[in-house]
Structure 1
Amino acid sequence: MHPHSDSRPAVRRALAALSLSVLLSSLGTSIANVGLPTLAQAFGASFQEVQWIVLAYLLAITTLIVGAGRLGDILGRRRLLLGGILLFTVASVLCGAAPTLWLLIAARAAQGLGAAVMMALTMAFVGETVPKAKTGSAMGLLGTMSAVGTALGPSLGGVLISGFGWRAIFLVNAPLGILTLLLAHRHLPVDRRGPTAGRAGFDHVGTLLLALTLAAYALAVTLGRGAFGALNGALLVAAACGAGLFVRAQARAASPLIRLRTLRDPRLSGGLATSALVSTVMMSTLVVGPFYLSRTLGLQEALVGLVLSVGPLVAALAGVPAGRIADRFGAPRMTIAGLAAMAAGSAVLSAMPARLGVAGYVAPMVVITAGYAVFQTANNTAVMADVLPDRRGVVSGLLNLSRNLGLVTGASVMGAVFALASATTDVSTARPEAVATGMRVTFAVAAVLIVMALALAMRVRARGSATDEYAFAR
């Protein structure tokens, strides 16, 4: 991966540390979901209460990921990443040892903070460890590990709970965390600046305002399980006010968390917007899939799980080849190719008759997921390509944030579209024909969102080409 053969093993070991960091943080999201029924029983709690085990982790990541990225730019990325991995590992042990539900939720929030640091800084490290010509391949590897973590979570969690009890789903992270910490400590490049360099440059007010704004938005779209009430409305208003205050604070700050002028760069703003739209659509596959497969096609739970694992499996297999293709043909071109595949797959699924059964669902889903793997790798590569070294952490944090916001929005918005199209208040008891209609309408909406993302990506590419030609002419 490096022009000098003697440094090739070092690059690979550094990538192994980064890959394990991504695997752990994505595994932390997906492994807890499967344990919620068991945890509700163990603590004698309601579903709404145990839902906070998942929510606390996601909220910590969503609210703190941009601040974590910026802090890495200032204090040193290696130093902060080692601290994040250590925090994640210790918090995992505390989760496994928690005597009460609320202590478990608090430990999950700490685990989420560690995951925010890991997610924000892994992509930022690619620019320091991998030659620019191989950036796409490295991004593809990280995308693969994220998909593997997501796919592995439910099945591994199920095996651990049935064999060792619920505590094992958290304790399994401890040996993996120690291995990741040792690899990162040994093989990641040393920070070029001391820990005190630029410490005054951290924007505390902006970080706090952004965290509160994002927390309000995430709670607005997740609380109530699809029912939108007065509390959701109040939280959305609070998020809008917070966003206004944040923009004002950034305009006045001497060393802002996010330089607003950088968002005027069409490559960055376009990359973030398309990432959010695509993640919204990908969440709809997780919202709609289980109900369509069980209610309309009549599959048993084990078969539903098997069919749903096809998507993450395709993403895992496509990640590294997608990275190599992005390096070969250019990230902007492959971003558009990935989106075109997603739009085609969504459009086919929206017209799919139920009589074609599992094959009729899986074939378009393979196209959507392979397109997603190509898009995500190429988009991440394009956005990170020309970022200055001292801003890599914050831009990596913004990319992860756009994906997370898309996922939480998708769970709420696409879930509401599905419920409305199914014409029922409880999808779990809806008639098979109603669920099939809901699935088709939801993927029609998904296709429209992907076409919007495609138009945006084509516009960004056209503007980028015009800028490059102007610079060449000069």
Structure 2
Amino acid sequence: MTTTTPSTRTVPRGLRGSPWATLVAISFGVMMVALDGTIVAVANPAIGRDLQASLAELQWVTHGYLLGLAVFLITAGKLSDRFGYRRMYLVGVVGFVATSVAIALSSGVVVLVAFRILQGLFGAVLSPAAMGLLRAGFPPHQLGRAFGLFGSLLSAANAAGPIVGGVLVSTFGWQAAFFINVPVGAVALGLGLWLLAADRPADRSARFDLTGVALLTVAIFALVWALVEAPTVGWTAVSTLAPLAVFGVFGAVFVLWERRPADPLLPLGMFRNPSVSIGVVLMLLMALSLMGSLFFVTFYLQGVLGLAPSRAGVFLLPLMLTMGVTSPLAGRLLDRVGAKIPTVTGLLSSAVGLFLLARLGTDTAFAYVTVAFLLLGTGLSLVMTGATAAIVGNVPMRFAGVASGMQQSAMQLGGSLGTAVLGAVMSAVIVATLPGHYRDAGLDAPDAAQATEMQSTVAQGVAVVPDGASAEVVRAVTQASHAAFLDGLHLAFGIAAVVMALAAVLALFMRAGRSTGEPAVHV
């Protein structure tokens, strides 16, 4: 049985290796990964036109990246613990840029999707290593501030993605959405080589848990596949149930196996710390509520309110800006009082914001939406910072990489689960209520089969208007369709609000104190 020691680093001399220099160095890498997650949505229509891609193929431009990222995060975190955070971070940066160039040069959608999956793998290498560098570089009493600033960078990148993407795609073509990673990656690589101090792996002699890697990879791959397929084919389809069964079997075998090896991929002993266990669940529930409900906000803004994309972006700015501004403040608060109080407060604030969004109408004012987004953004900043600190800050330093991979996996899987589950709720409500709204508008009600066929369009805030319909009929159909859409939206946001409120109750069982994980040991 091997023994492990905390990952060690050289004593910082001047700028190189200092905590804040570390944060600056990794900022460009993590922002590049976050930016790529949102910028592609803007590029997809142009990719479809240029490569003659179908809607299903275009969906896999996004899903492929998610698949590569989610499947490899925990394994990549373990690799960072094993081989060093600096080394793996730099490998992730180089690989991410190289695959970005390959994507931009792709002449067919199949090749493009393959490189997107590979890009996700390198994103999975980069992200836990960056978090491990933060965990190793900052003393425990400053970890909250570091995680808060880290969250602020991610929020800024996510907010900038659609704007930057729109400018690049409209000016230079869809390839520019990927070529932009070349200069950003060059800066990330240069700063990494200059500012990041060399770190010593936790234990060079540790054996890698290849069986655990195989079991976990198959389990997460099957789960992500099922969540991607379910909104299209339904939850009862074989193509959904079969991978869910595979996930259940391989996931159970993985948990049983991880009790055996001396150097497990995912040390189950970490979960004996209640803050770590609760933090993982909170990250999952937060992502489920946020991603699952906000997926439909754009459809509401553009479809129901009839806003142009640029105007819809203005409506979303309060949410993104609030998260960017309040994340560093949330980090400072965590350093002072610990994660419990801010996390509970953030969950309750998010629940109230989601409850307000569950009352949106066809004439909701910008001020109302802004207040809801301010509450939601402030709450999410506290939750993300608190849950991250609870997970990564409360594990021994030698497990910082795998803990970071676990935290980010929970967020990715929670977002996919939320989109699939709340999307199913939206669809079911629309099918159930659309005929009644048609009758209320003085129209012939569609039967169950017709309502099912129409729900996909209505769920995007768009009315299915018959060819040659009069203006009066167009208004009536639109009114009925929007009413059914809002019925589904209200229930989806209501469920998300309840989930956040229940999560606040769970957060009460977190430890009240500050992070207790091992500090970095300097030699």
- TM-score, with length taken from structure 2: 0.84
Q: Name the CA distance, whole Å, in 2 between partners of 1:157 and 1:173.
A: 12
Does structure 2 retain, via aligned residues, the 8 Å contact 1:14–1:183?
A: no
Structure 2 residue aligned with 1:244: 252
Structure 2 residue aligned with 1:289: 297
* 1:368-387 CA-partner distances (Å, limit 9, x unpaired): 12100111112211222232
Q: Name the CA distance, whole Å, in 2 between partners of 1:309 and 1:417.
A: 27
Q: Name the CA distance, whole Å, in 1 between partners of 2:91 and 2:32.
A: 15
Structure 2 residue aligned with 1:150: 158
2:332 aligns with one of 307, 315, 324? 324
Does structure 1 retain, via aligned residues, the 8 Å contact 2:17–2:197?
A: no
Q: Name the CA distance, whole Å, in 1 between partners of 2:356 and 2:410.
A: 27
Structure 1 residue aligned with 2:390: 382
Does structure 1 retain, via aligned residues, the 8 Å contact 2:65–2:116?
A: yes
Does structure 2 retain, via aligned residues, the 8 Å contact 1:123–1:396?
A: yes
* 1:194-243 CA-partner distances (Å, limit 9, x unpaired): 9x812x52111111211111111011011254431220111111111110
Does structure 2 retain, via aligned residues, the 8 Å contact 1:226–1:415?
A: no
* 1:78-131 CA-partner distances (Å, limit 9, x unpaired): 111111111111111111111222221122122111110111121211122122
Q: Name the CA distance, whole Å, in 1 between partners of 2:201 and 2:178.
A: 35
Q: Name the CA distance, whole Å, in 2 between partners of 1:49 and 1:33.
A: 13
After TM superposition, list the pairs within 5 Å mapping 1:400-419 onto structure 2: 400-419=408-427
* 1:250-277 CA-partner distances (Å, limit 9, x unpaired): 1222311112232232111110001100
1:70 to partner: Cα distance: 0.5
Q: Name the CA distance, whole Å, in 2 between partners of 1:147 and 1:165.
A: 25
Q: Does 1:28 align with 2:39?
A: no
Structure 1 residue aligned with 2:227: 221
* 1:131-190 CA-partner distances (Å, limit 9, x unpaired): 222111110111011111111111111111111111111010011111101111121121
Structure 2 residue aligned with 1:471: none
Does structure 1 retain, via aligned residues, the 8 Å contact 2:16–2:197?
A: no
Q: Does 1:456 align with 2:506?
A: yes
Larger displacement relative to structure 2 (222-231 or 120-129): 222-231
Q: Name the CA distance, whole Å, in 2 between partners of 1:150 and 1:13.
A: 23
- TM-score, with length taken from structure 1: 0.92
Q: Name the CA distance, whole Å, in 2 between partners of 1:412 and 1:349.
A: 19
Structure 1 residue aligned with 2:373: 365
Larger displacement relative to structure 2 (236-245 or 10-19): 10-19
Q: Does 1:209 align with 2:194?
A: no
Identity of aligned residues (%): 31
Letter in 2 for 1:444: G
Larger displacement relative to structure 2 (273-282 or 179-188): 179-188
Q: Name the CA distance, whole Å, in 1 between partners of 2:403 and 2:218.
A: 19
Unpaired runs of at least 5, structure 2: 1-11, 435-454, 464-480, 517-523
Structure 1 residue aligned with 2:84: 76
Does structure 1 retain, via aligned residues, the 8 Å contact 2:147–2:331?
A: yes
Letter in 1 for 2:19: V
Structure 1 residue aligned with 2:197: 189
Q: Does 1:442 align with 2:476?
A: no
1:285 to partner: Cα distance: 3.7
Structure 2 residue aligned with 1:113: 121
1:355 to partner: Cα distance: 3.9
1:76 to partner: Cα distance: 1.3
Q: Which has the larger radius of gyration?
A: 2
Does structure 1 retain, via aligned residues, the 8 Å contact 2:293–2:422?
A: no
1:360 to partner: Cα distance: 2.3
Does structure 2 retain, via aligned residues, the 8 Å contact 1:354–1:360?
A: no
Does structure 2 retain, via aligned residues, the 8 Å contact 1:68–1:397?
A: yes
1:361 to partner: Cα distance: 2.3
* 1:394-443 CA-partner distances (Å, limit 9, x unpaired): 01110011111111111111111222233352213352222222222111
Letter in 1 for 2:93: I
Letter in 2 for 1:434: A
1:352 to partner: Cα distance: 4.6
How many residues matched?
461
1:258 aligns with one of 259, 266, 273? 266
Letter in 2 for 1:112: G
Q: Name the CA distance, whole Å, in 1 between partners of 2:34 and 2:278.
A: 25
CA RMSD of aligned residues (A): 2.2
Q: Does 1:172 align with 2:180?
A: yes
Q: Name the CA distance, whole Å, in 2 between partners of 1:224 and 1:284.
A: 14
Does structure 2 retain, via aligned residues, the 8 Å contact 1:291–1:435?
A: no
Q: Does 1:125 align with 2:130?
A: no
Compare the two structures and name the one with the higher helix fraction. Answer: 1
Q: Does 1:99 align with 2:121?
A: no
Letter in 1 for 2:349: A
Structure 2 residue aligned with 1:433: 483
Q: Does 1:13 align with 2:21?
A: yes
Does structure 1 retain, via aligned residues, the 8 Å contact 2:17–2:137?
A: no
1:65 aligns with one of 70, 73, 77? 73
